[in-house]
Amino acid sequence: MSDSTLWLLGDQLNLDLDALEATDDVLLIEAHGFAARRRYHAHKLTLVFSAMRHFRDDLRDRGHDVTYLEADSFGEGIATFLDRRPDVAFRLMRPASHGAGERLRGIVEARGGSLILLENELFWTTPDDWRAWTGKSSGGEERNGKERNADGVAIHEDGTADRTYRQEDWYRHVRRETGVLMDGDEPEGGEWNYDDRNRETPPDGWTPPNPPRFEPDALTRETHAWVRDRFDTWGNDSIETFAWPVTRKEALTALDAFVARGLPAFGRYQDAMVGGEPFLAHSLLSPAINLGLLDPREPVRAVEAAYEARGGEPGAFDPDVGSAGSETTLDAFATGGEGDGTAADRSPVPLNAAEGFIRQVLGWREFVRHVYRETMPELADANRLDQKRTLPPLYWDGETDMRCLSEAVGHVREHGYAHHIERLMVLSNFAMLYGVDPAELDEWFHLGFVDAYHWVTTPNVVAMGSFGTDVLSSKPYAASGSYVNRMSDHCASCPYAVSRTTGEGACPFNALYWDFLMEHEETLRGTGRTGLLYSHADDKDDGEREAIRERAARVRELAAAGEL
CA–CA distance, 398 with 387 (Å, rounded to integer) = 22
Q: Give me the pLDDT at residue 210, please.
A: 87
Do you find a cis peptide bond into 377, omega within 30 degrees of 0?
Answer: yes
Q: Could you tell me if 332 and 263 are in contact, meaning their C-beta atoms sit under 8 angstroms apart? A: no
What is the identity of the amino acid at 228? R
- Strands 114-118 and 140-142 come out as unpaired
Tell me whether residue 276 is exposed, middle or buried, using C-beta atoms within 10 angstroms of its C-beta: 0 to 12, 13 to 18, 19 or more.
exposed
What's the pLDDT tens digit per position in 94-125?
999 999 999 999 999 999 999 999 999 999 99
Q: Give me the pLDDT at residue 320, please.
A: 55
Q: Give me the pLDDT at residue 345, please.
A: 47
Domains (ranges, CATH) in the chain? Answer: 4-118 (3.40.50.620), 186-209+247-367 (1.25.40.80), 387-560 (1.10.579.10)
Q: Give me the pLDDT at residue 145, please.
A: 36
Does the pTM surpass 0.85? The reply is: yes
Q: Give me the pLDDT at residue 414, please.
A: 96
Cα dihedral across residues 28, 449, 123, 295: positive or negative: positive
| H or E segment to which residue 90 belongs | strand 89-93
* List of the chain residues with pLDDT < 70: 1-2, 136-152, 312-346, 528
DSSP string, 343-375: GGGS--EEHHHHHHHHIIIIIIIHHHHHHHHHH
What's the pLDDT tens digit per position in 368-415?
999 999 999 999 999 999 999 999 999 999 999 999 999 999 999 999
Q: Give me the pLDDT at residue 142, please.
A: 40
